[in-house]
């Protein structure tokens, strides 16, 4: 196969030259890294990566290809994909496409053959930064100038780019749901999945939601209505929910004043559960403050301490911002912390009937240590 030159230029002046795959063209985005060994298709289709160029730290990517099932949204969300070595001849009985053809069909530029260890080390030392990935411009100085003049991710409202435009009822094959693993300790709740219309009604506010989230809620017998991230509190309450779910999503939560206002209008009205961006927005609605992490948490191996049980959960994460614990008032309990850097990973307001976690308990891909949180939320809906 004919190789084509691709270049990744960073805003600090560093340029990496490798081989392009997937689509051709040029994109800019925040360059970040993910430490997962597998699950690249779920990463590609996670709306939380919108606006980013993602580097995989595991050296060989693409060995099992891609398929129609392992997707977390209706499109490939990220702007560029960086790997050390691309497997061009995958083997998998569920294979529909090679990774190369999958990216090409979805208009995403990939680059392989660069020193990803050096790139990740630079990001860890200097922080996530804007970069330009190009198969059309081979001039290093030109690309660096473009990277330096491209807008940073912080301060942008990216939710409007990935959220659904209309309200819809989530539906999926109940046969598939019943065959999926049951969350330990909630086997009885799983029985109601055969008749979700009779179970609690959850309104999920979609800021860029992964599809495995409503799958978990349906598995526990909930009826799920998905509404756009710009929905008001009145619009959410008009659906007469038993509880409200705040989804993950891309970028900086601080510009999302409309989302914070909605959540403030829902606090104390209905039980609330938020994850990732939803957790951050919940924290803002409760009076907390947000800061940007140096290089973020992205991967399926982040250790989190659950304060109430003393147990360590290995979690899937994807975020570049965090809640400042010093900004939280006495009503807000910090329930989980990251054991790598002690950042806030979970909060709860018992008075307001709301809780959130910074990580992804639905995983996909990743460990199942935190599935119990969906069961905890469902119990709040029927009490």
Residue 197: CB atoms within 10 Å: 8
Say whether 235 is catalytic: no
Can you tell me which residue has the tokens 């539906």? 171
Q: Which of 276, 319, 336, 371 is catalytic?
A: 276
Q: Is 233 exposed, middle or buried (0-12, 13-18, 19+ CB in 10 A)?
A: middle
Contact of 215 with 362, CB cutoff 8 Å: yes
Contact of 249 with 228, CB cutoff 8 Å: no
Residue 95: CB atoms within 10 Å: 12
168-175's contacts with Cβ under 8 Å and 24+ in sequence apart are: 168/225, 168/226, 169/223, 169/224, 169/225, 169/226, 170/204, 170/214, 170/217, 170/218, 170/224, 170/225, 170/226, 172/214, 172/215, 172/218, 174/218
Q: Which of 100, 313, 362, 371 is catalytic?
A: 362
Say whether 362 is catalytic: yes
Element (H, E) at 284: helix 277-285
Q: Cα torsion at 298, 283, 304, 229 (round to 10°)? A: -40
Catalytic site residues?
276, 360, 362
């Amino acid at each position: 196969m004919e190789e084509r030159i691709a270049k990744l230029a960073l805003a600090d002046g560093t340029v990496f030259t490798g081989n392009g795959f997937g689509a051709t063209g040029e994109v800019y985005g925040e360059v970040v890294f993910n430490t997962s060994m597998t699950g690249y298709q779920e990463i590609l289709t996670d709306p939380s990566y919108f606006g980013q160029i993602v580097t995989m730290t595991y050296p060989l990517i693409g060995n099992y290809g891609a398929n129609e099932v392992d997707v977390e949204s209706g499109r490939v969300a990220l702007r560029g994909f960086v790997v050390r070595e691309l497997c061009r001849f995958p083997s998998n009985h569920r294979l529909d496409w090679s990774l190369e053809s999958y990216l090409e069909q979805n208009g995403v530029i990939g680059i392989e053959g660069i020193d990803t260890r050096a790139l990740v080390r630079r990001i860890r030392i200097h922080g996530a930064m804007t970069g330009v990935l190009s198969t059309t411009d081979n001039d290093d100085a030109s690309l660096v100038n473009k990277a330096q003049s491209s807008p940073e991710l912080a301060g942008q409202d990216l939710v409007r780019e990935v959220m659904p435009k209309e309200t819809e009822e989530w539906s999926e094959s109940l046969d598939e749901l019943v065959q999926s693993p049951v969350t330990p300790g909630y086997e009885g709740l799983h029985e109601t999945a055969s008749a979700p219309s009779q179970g609690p009604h959850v309104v999920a506010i979609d800021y860029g939601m992964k599809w495995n989230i409503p799958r978990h809620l349906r598995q526990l017998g909930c009826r799920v209505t998905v509404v756009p991230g710009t929905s008001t509190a009145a619009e959410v309450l008009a659906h007469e929910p038993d509880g409200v779910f705040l989804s993950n999503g891309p970028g900086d939560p601080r510009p999302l004043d409309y989302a914070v206002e909605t959540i403030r209008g829902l606090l104390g009205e209905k039980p609330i559960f938020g994850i990732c961006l939803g957790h951050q927005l919940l924290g803002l609605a409760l009076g907390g403050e947000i800061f940007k992490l140096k290089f973020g948490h992205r991967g399926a191996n982040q250790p989190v301490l659950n304060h109430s049980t003393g147990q360590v959960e290995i979690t899937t994460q994807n975020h570049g911002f965090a809640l400042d614990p010093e900004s939280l008032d006495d009503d807000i309990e910090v329930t989980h912390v990251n054991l790598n850097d002690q950042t806030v990973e979970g909060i709860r307001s018992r008075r307001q009937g709301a809780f959130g976690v910074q990580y992804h308990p639905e995983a996909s891909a990743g460990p199942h240590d935190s599935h119990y949180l969906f069961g905890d939320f469902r119990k709040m809906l029927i009490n």
